[in-house]
Structure 1
Amino acid sequence: MILGVGLFAAVAIAWLLIAAIEKVRLGLSFAQAFLYTPFKLAYRITDHNLRTIRDANAPVIYAIVHQSKLDPALMLSLLPENTLHILDEASARSFWLEPWRELARTIAFNAEHVFVSRRLVRVLKGRGRLAVYFPDAVEPDVKSFRLYRAVSRIALQADARIVPIFVGGARWLPSSLTPAELAPRRLFPRLVVSVLPPMTLEQLAARDGEPARNRGNALFDYVAEARFGATDLSRGLFQSIRDASDRFGASHPVIEDVVSGTLSYRTLFAGARVFGQRVEARTAPGEAVGVLLPNTNAMVISLLGMWSSGRVAAMINYTAGPANVTSAVRTAVIRTVVSSRAFIEKASLADVVTAAEEGGAKFLWLEDIRETTSGLEKLAAAACWRWPLQPQDAQKPAVILFTSGSEGHPKAVVLSNRNLVANAMQAEARLTISPRDILFNVLPAFHSFGLTCGTILPLVSGMRAFLYPSPLHYKIIPEIAGKKHPTVMIGTDTFLANYARHAGDGDFASLRFIVAGAEPVKAETRRIYRDRFQAEIVEGFGLTEAAPVVAVNTAIHSREGTVGRLLPAIRMRLDAVEGIKDGGRLWLAGPNMMMGYMTADRPGELQQLENWHDTGDIVSADRDGFITIRGRAKRFAKIAGEMVSLGAVEMMVRSLWPEDNHAAVAVPDKRRGERIVLVTTADDADPEDLRKFSKQHGAAELMVPHDIVKVDTLPVLGSGKTDYVATKKLAMEQLGLTV
């Protein structure tokens, strides 16, 4: 009895002491601190910025993402006591919340009242504070999004500041509002209270240019930024993927290929440890190690093994040609390349191996590693799979990708662990995905889209990724999709259009959506997938230097002809360009932007990025934040002093001959500086038809191609993009011009 009383007294004293500390640290009332303490201890809550938002000048609206039944209790404990909380009906009636409801004023949520409530505006104008709980949906439905618009109107009328709040980890609580099959439960997940500085809607809307008409978009974007803010960017890729294995279970199937089947997190990590030890024995920490592998489980194991051992994975583009491979190996100072003899033989890449060796690299073959790995090594790896081989640092390089070399020698783009984790989580904060999804990835990992969205995003989000080694198998890929039933797919318009031509009506029927990038999506491609497969293509925009995704359309925020709106935490600015009236040269900044370049003239030397990156793209942004790509700065022709977008020319031609592929290139012209040549697969392409069509649609005369060159197929890069360097060379040869 005495022992029990003593133990109870010790717990009570400790509780009171911790509550007193929290009261002082966060500026809470003692009642708030007392009721907050159990949460703080049980969930090891990270709450560093809360003092700032408590001290924010009123009027303030706290925009809270409501993920679990616990959220109202947390917010009632942490927000100022004069805050009016608009609770959902279940929270307003719940008996266990009664002690917390006594901490501040609360009213039951009524959607109709929120839309028209003058009372809430009066509360705010009286230097008040309002807490609104938004549904936990990355892509809310139309009804839910009305709440964003309603709160935006209230904030505008009261000139209130917005403070978004997201409790990272709350989705996994037993009290989560998300179905268990979409969010596996954990008893005591670590929680992170992510908050952003108070800003008015006018300030939010004007951050990237002119104020937006739809201020609900600005509010939604700020809340999404808080969602992303819960990401711990101090965790490296190895740690972030291991965290995912803790959330979804070590036995959760996460990758699959056509060779070795399905691997769980545990099996993946065990294989990575064996591989990492072999790489560790042959290379130095921080060294760039080449990866010359297709989309397979072995490629993912190799990447994870390198990150575990503190090496940098240099993804070699084996479709770039021997000269570019040699240049890439020398630029990144690659001394060891990981590959497979079976792959080299099957893909006929002996010349690529020779090119890499000429650059100074030696090969480490996966077959040799398998043959020399003992049972004891496998057993030890299975036992120690959770631990990395080297200390992890998110700020250090993780991957090197190479540009196409269209502007000379390929440049090496150096991406840190932080860059890649950030971009994957930025995408997760904008697109609805879950552990129930199966992502079909046909894009190679040497392409940044295939690496981040097709490989890293599934690993950190719990989606199963089905990896296919080549995007060019147009007949086989639809058949496999029909058997594997993917729900999400990534690709380029060229690849998607070819898959549709060979697909049966049921092959892609399981898809929820497709994320397309690298090139504009044709209206016909979009229509085919929508009508035949009921799958929506959401178009995005990215670049290798951004790891790569910059903007994307979504279910609720979509506008055809655009590439969507910026992902959370990315900033842009548009610099004026002579001859371009609507739009400007795009500069970007954000946590996903590369560390810097390595170049052929300064091999192995990282040339650090200074804050903003010049993308070289000419874009325009409407007042709702949707971005339209006008073209690369180098993809403009200067004709008689006027700037003409070659991309716009291609779009015009595509409208006339939608079934074919087209590329517009600029060639020298003695009289007008440059002239436009159309290279097309359209057999019936006629210059007179094109002139009439352009005139009917109000196109300027300068946009009409001077010559038409007909080909069977357009040259493409390994990523599926049009190879404009080869296309221009082909056009000039056909026209008898000097290359």
Structure 2
Amino acid sequence: MTAVTRGVAGPSGGPAPQPDTVPWPADYAARYRAAGHWADQPLGHWPRRWAEAHGDRTALVDGATRLTYRELADRVDALAGALREQGLCRGDRIVVQLPNSWEFVALVLACFRSGIVPVLALTAHRAHELAHLLRHAEARLLVVPDRWRDFDHQALAARIAAEAPGECRVLVKGEADPGHLDLARLLAPGPGTRERAAALDADRPHPDDVALFLLSGGTTGLPKLIARTHNDYGYNVRRSAEVSGFDHSTVFLAALPAGHNAVLGCPGILGTLHSGGTVVLVPSPQAATALTAVAAEGVTDVAVVPAVAQQWVAEAAGGRYDLGTLRLVTLGGSVVDPALARRVRDELGGQVQQLYGMAEGLLCCTRPDDPDALVFGTQGRPVSPDDELLVVDEHDRPVPLGSTGELLTRGPYTPRGYYRAAEHNARAFTPDGWFRTGDLVRLHPGGYLTVEGRRKELINRGGEKVSAEEVENLARLLVGVDRVAAVPLPDDRFGERVCLVLAPAGAAAPSLDDVRERFARHGVAHYKLPEQLEVLTELPLTPVGKVDKKAIRERLATEEK
């Protein structure tokens, strides 16, 4: 599948040029419009519509800061206008690395309003990942906190922005150094609100423009960029909120990183705001912090990964927190042990919802009124009637219902290719547009599915997906060993941990501390650092000469018993 330099034209005129994106075929786009999935409205119109509908209702709670819908809309317009005044234009990309905060929400919405495209990075990313994103997206702005968790993000941003191939400025949440832009100043409404809004309305993005870039959890090294359009992501948000029963009474706790797709829009922050509810932002999913916020703000809905849920259950034991307002606890990011899901419902209260999905599109979930057999025994069914699922064997032949195979999918919010990745797209997508998820599943009658494993080589550390290939490539580069394998091992806290297995060729084997120090010095995100090092004389091989990771995992599991 080759990339093209156009989008699908909608009824109100042509979209902005979108080099290296892959559009939906015209017949599919027409079908999704006819079904009402694509609303043909840019997402930037949301804040003003929300303000008109909900006015003085509380939209965001961030510590001592509380913003109404009207105040949020004013700040969004102020920031959107200020970004334009700084020379950013519709279609320009910016990399956003901010912690959970009201400023993050306002910035994303301001990008939707102005047509500037945010690339959503994580606060855990360091030079290794951020420099790649700046280059790949040709970003013109890098948005960071001044410091976060004792790390100087501003100093790092200054260095990598200066090394970027094009002009890239730094925008700072907090105390900005000379030469950097101050986010607080750009967010200040000031006079001229009506005129600013009119100017933005006159040059609004097209519904088929790229609205944001999400990051893949892919297996082939550094993350791919997933281009989500205003049309497809708007449907993603609206439909998932509808399925999850969000409304004006919803109080959603954003505890996991807001840059994650599930927390941002599945239904998450945007689904809550679109439903007229309230979003409560906390800086981390640390159990005491999160549960205190649930009790203080009357939180009704939360989304967590199983590793975090387990910590919350332990913290909630003994009734130390009033969690009586909880309605729905969404568990996703990795397969959930049914016993843990039951404990979550019993200890935290509210119904459990399993969520299976990906930043590449497809969302499946159990419904709030599903029977226990489905809630605890499956990962749900697709949220859209036009989500297509195909389960195939290793030769792409469909398997019988109930048999295990790789899941392929396509639909109204599953893009047809990664950004600037034609070679990878040829492997990740079939010629007729099916996305290869790499997950092994079984389909049940009624469309529910159970995830059995994965064909992709990913290590799922507390919901963060680590590419085994990326860790191996870094070990070859930084440690100087050719015979190396990265494998997941069970971990009580994070579900899986990164284990690096190597066979040194004559030289003395490095220590785990040495490996981790070299990775960190290279600017690799902390969650990717190996947490266990195993040294073998030889790495076992498959009959075709590849490293046999299954044999390695089995051997290590036996040795740990």
TM-score by length of 2: 0.68
Change in 2 beyond 3 A, CA 1:507/1:329: farther
Deviation at residue 552 of structure 1 after TM alignment:
3.5
Q: Does 1:311 align with 2:116?
A: yes
Shift of 1:267: 0.9
**Residue 331 (structure 2) aligned to one of 494, 510, 516:** 516
Specify the SS of the correspondent of 1:274.
helix
What is the CA–CA distance in structure 1 between the aligned matches of 2:257 and 2:198, rounded to whole Å? 27
1:320 and 2:125 matched: yes
What letter matches 2:412 in structure 1? Answer: P
Counterpart position of 1:461: 275
Aligned pair in 2 of structure 1 residues 736, 256: CA closer, same or farther (>3 Å)? farther
User: Aligned match of 2:349 in 534, 542, 558?
Assistant: 534
Secondary structure at 2:191 match in 1: helix
1:237 is matched with which residue: 24, 43, 50? 43
For 1:188-337, list aligned pairs within 5 A. Answer: 229-230=35-36, 233-246=39-52, 248-259=53-64, 261-281=65-85, 282-337=87-142
- Which protein is bigger by CA-based radius of gyration? 1
Letter in 1 for 2:314: R
8 Å contact from structure 1 (residues 318, 352) kept in 2:
no
| 5+ residue gaps, structure 2 | 1-30, 175-180, 473-484, 494-511, 517-524, 540-546, 548-561
Contact 2:243 2:367 in 1 (8 A): no
- Aligned residue number for residue 413 of structure 2: 592
| Residue pair 1:270, 1:378 contacting (<8 A) in 2 also | no
Residue pair 1:291, 1:315 contacting (<8 A) in 2 also: yes
* Distance of 1:725 and 1:374 partners within structure 2: 32
Checking the alignment, whether the CA contact within 8 Å between 2:42 and 2:231 is kept in structure 1 is yes
Structure 1 match to 2:360? 545
Deviation at 1:415, TM superposition (A): 0.7
Counterpart of 1:379 in structure 2 is 191
Structure 1 residues 358 and 534, CA, compared in 2 at 3 Å: closer, same or farther?
A: same
Deviation for aligned residue 1:443: 1.9
Secondary structure (helix, strand or coil) at the match of 1:497 reads: helix
Query: Cα distance 1:373–1:550, how it changes in 2: closer, same or farther (>3 A)?
Result: closer
SS at match of 1:395: coil
Q: Deviations over 1:670-725 (max 9, x none)?
A: xxxx999844449xxxxxxxxxxxxxxxxxxxxxxxxxxxx9xxx9xxxxxxx999
Specify the code of the residue in structure 2 equivalent to 1:625: G
Give, in angstroms, the shift of residue 433 of structure 1: 1.8
Q: Which runs of 5+ in 1 are unaligned?
A: 1-224, 637-645, 651-662, 669-673, 683-710, 716-722
Aligned position for 1:624: 446
| Cα distance per residue 1:402-433 (max 9 Å; x no partner) | 22464212211111111211111221332212
Structure 1 distance, partners of 2:103, 2:324, is 29
1:554 maps to: 368
Which residue in the other structure is 1:365 paired with? 172
Instruction: Give the CA deviation at 1:619.
Output: 1.2
The answer to whether the 8 A contact 1:518-1:541 is kept is yes
**Matches of 1:601 and 1:588, distance apart in 2:** 19
Q: Measure how far apart 1:598 and its partner are.
A: 2.4
Q: Secondary structure at the match of 1:429?
A: helix
| AA in 2 matched with 1:324 | E
- Contact 1:552–1:567 (CA under 8 A) maintained in structure 2: no
Report how far residue 315 of structure 1 moved. Answer: 0.8
Counting only pairs closer than 5 Å after superposition, residues 81-92 of structure 1 correspond to structure 2 as: none
1:170 match: none
Letter in 2 for 1:422: Y
Q: Is the 8 A contact 1:330 1:600 kept in 2?
A: no
**Cα distance between partner residues in 1 of 2:302 and 2:61:** 14
* 1:302 Cα offset (Å): 0.8
Amino acid at match of 1:470: S
1:413 counterpart SS class:
strand
Question: Greater share of helix residues, 1 or 2?
Answer: 1
Residue deviations 1:533-574, cap 9 Å, x none? 32222111001110x623444323634221111112211112
Question: What are the within-5 Å matches in structure 2 for residues 309-458 of structure 1?
Answer: 309-341=114-146, 343-344=147-148, 346-349=150-153, 352-353=156-157, 354-360=159-165, 361-366=168-173, 368-369=181-182, 372=185, 378-381=190-193, 388-389=200-201, 390-404=203-217, 406-452=219-265, 453-458=267-272
The question of whether the paired residues in 2 share the 8 Å contact of 1:478 and 1:499 is answered with: yes
- Distance in 1, matches of 2:528 and 2:182, equals 39
Compared with structure 1, are the counterparts of its residues 331 and 438 closer, same or farther at alpha carbon in structure 2 (3 Å cutoff)?
same
Between the aligned partners of 2:327 and 2:81, the Cα distance in structure 1 is 40
Aligned counterparts of 1:535 and 1:726: Cα–Cα separation in 2 = 34
Q: Per-residue displacement from partner, 1:226-254 (whole Å, max 9, x unpaired)?
A: 9x9555520121224443444x3222222
Compared with structure 1, are the counterparts of its residues 736 and 264 closer, same or farther at alpha carbon in structure 2 (3 Å cutoff)?
farther
583-592 or 293-302, which moves further after superposition?
583-592
Question: Secondary structure in 2 aligned to 1:365?
Answer: strand
C-alpha distance in 1 between matches for 2:215 and 2:194: 34
Q: Deviations over 1:313-335 (max 9, x none)?
A: 11122313321221122111112
Instruction: Quote the Cα distance in structure 2 between the aligned partners of 1:675 and 1:726.
Output: 11
Letter in 1 for 2:169: K
For residues 497 and 464 of structure 1, the distance between their equivalents in structure 2, rounded to whole angstroms, comes to: 25
Is the Cα contact below 8 Å between 2:429 and 2:435 reproduced in 1?
Answer: no
SS state at 1:234 partner: coil
Does the aligned pair in 2 maintain the 1:254–1:464 contact within 8 Å?
Answer: yes
Q: Which amino acid aligns with 1:562?
A: T
Counterparts in 2 of 1:438 and 1:725: CA distance versus 1, 3 Å: closer
Q: Is the 8 A contact 2:392 2:406 kept in 1?
A: yes
User: Does the Cα contact within 8 Å between 1:438 and 1:485 map onto a contact in 2?
Assistant: yes
3-state DSSP class of the match of 1:494?
Answer: helix
- 2:456 matched residue in structure 1: 634
Which structure's relative contact order is higher, taking Cα pairs within 8 Å and 6+ residues apart? 2
For residues 492-511 of structure 1, give each alpha carbon's deviation from its aligned partner in whole angstroms, at most 9, with x where no partner exists.
Answer: 11111112222362343310
Structure 1 residue 347 displacement after superposition: 4.6
- Tell me: CA distance 1:371–1:539, structure 2 relative to 1, closer, same or farther (3 Å): closer
Cα separation, partners in 2 of 1:633 and 1:677, compared to 1, 3 Å: closer
Assess, with a 3 A threshold, how the Cα gap between structure 1 residues 533 and 408 changes in structure 2: closer, same or farther: closer
1:64 is matched with: none
Pick closer, same or farther for the CA change 1:595–1:285 going to 2, 3 Å: farther
CA distance in 1, matches of 2:332, 2:526: 17
- Provide the C-alpha distance between the structure 1 equivalents of 2:251 and 2:351, rounded to a whole number of angstroms: 16
Aligned residue pairs total 438
**Aligned residue for 1:575?**
392
Deviations 1:130-178, CA, capped at 9 Å, x for gaps: xxxxxxxxxxxxxxxxxxxxxxxxxxxxxxxxxxxxxxxxxxxxxxxxx
Q: CA deviation at 1:530?
A: 2.0
TM-score of the two chains, using structure 1 as the length reference:
0.53
Q: How far apart, in 1, do the equivalents of 2:429 and 2:486 lie? A: 37
Go from structure 1 to structure 2 and tell me whether the alpha carbon gap of 1:293 and 1:398 turns closer, same or farther (over 3 Å shift).
Answer: same
Q: What CA distance in whole angstroms lies between the structure 2 residues aligned with 1:516 and 1:374? A: 34
1:97-120 CA-partner distances (Å, limit 9, x unpaired): xxxxxxxxxxxxxxxxxxxxxxxx
The aligned counterpart of 2:22 is none
Which stretch has the larger CA shift, 585-594 or 361-370? 361-370
C-alpha distance in structure 2 between counterparts of 1:301 and 1:677, whole Å: 37
